[in-house]
Amino acid sequence: MHQEHTAMKVCTDACLFGAWLTQDSNLINAKNILDIGTGTGLLSLMIAQGIFTNNLSFDANIIAVEIEANAAREAKSNFNASPWKAFLNVAQCAIQNFDISNNAINTQQILEPQFNCIISNPPFFEGDLQSANAHKNLALHSTALPWQDLINEVDRLLKKNGHYFVLIPALRAYTMQKIAAEKGIHLVEEVVVFNALKQKPFRVFQKFEKTDNPTHQIKRSNFIIKDAENNYTPAFVNLLKPFYLHL
């Protein structure tokens, strides 16, 4: 993965989120997938690898939307260096302006206006002190993509009975759940991530479904990255081994 020109660098929680996504049958069997705020293209590439590994073929279409021009170019370069470049596409624009019909996407596939699955590792700092680097602010701060706007776009672009997956800070998990529910996008699964057992949780993975009949049985679990000796847990190793070279 090249990340020299991207403000949001590859990090452990994003890799863990991407690996978790590849375990989801709804996502792996989806035909049309949208990645909002792709950055380096990491999540799209991990999903592409997961689809190919699980299905031994590839007939999905993945579109990655990125507002920042340098990051979009780098994602495209990373896609072109992969075995799945024919199925990975980048649209350089704000998600609020994204539309299949007016975005130049280089693909021979027939694209639908809505998606089976949407994934996002969105900017999540809100009201925090911003840096002098405008590119980092776009990647990390929610001023360009407030969560209400994000959910409005998920609602616009997600098919009925489709699924939305998001990586967010643990302290703001309920906020995302509440905003999504107001649009009829309901939480069905939540994974709370800890760096270590005795530390506070720092990230949450959430899976939502766009449905008129929400389930009241939300699947909840915890995930611990490192054990008491500061080694990766067996669960972490098993999940990330297909993607890390040195596990």
- In sequence order, the 6+-apart residues with CB closer than 8 A to the CB of 219 are 188, 189, 190
Interior angle at CA 18, CA 14 and CA 24, nearest 5: 145
Q: Is residue 3 part of a domain?
A: no
Distance of alpha carbon 4 from alpha carbon 42, whole angstroms: 13
How far, CA to CA in Å, does 223 sit from each of 17, 21, 74, 226, 236? 11, 14, 31, 10, 8
Q: Is residue 216 part of a domain?
A: yes
Nearest in space to 201 (alpha carbons), one of 232, 187, 222, 181: 222
Q: Is residue 24 part of a domain?
A: yes
pLDDT tens digit sequence for 49-67: 999 888 767 778 999 999 9
Structural domain for 200, as ranges: 12-240
Q: Is residue 65 part of a domain?
A: yes
Tell me if 46 sits within 8 A of 243, measured CB to CB. yes
Q: Is residue 246 part of a domain?
A: no
Q: Is residue 7 part of a domain?
A: no
Q: Is residue 147 part of a domain?
A: yes
Q: What was the pLDDT predicted at 132? A: 46
Structure tokens at 162: 């489709």
Q: How many independent structural domains does the chain possess? A: 1
Q: Give the CATH number for residue 81.
A: 3.40.50.150
Q: Is residue 193 part of a domain?
A: yes
Mean pLDDT in residue range 178-193: 97
Interior angle at CA 116, CA 59 and CA 192, nearest 5: 110
Q: Considering the entire predicted model, what is its pTM?
A: 0.88
Q: What was the pLDDT predicted at 101? A: 73
Q: What was the pLDDT predicted at 145? A: 84
Q: What was the pLDDT predicted at 196? A: 95
Give the position of tokens 């000796």.
229
Q: What was the pLDDT predicted at 110? A: 56
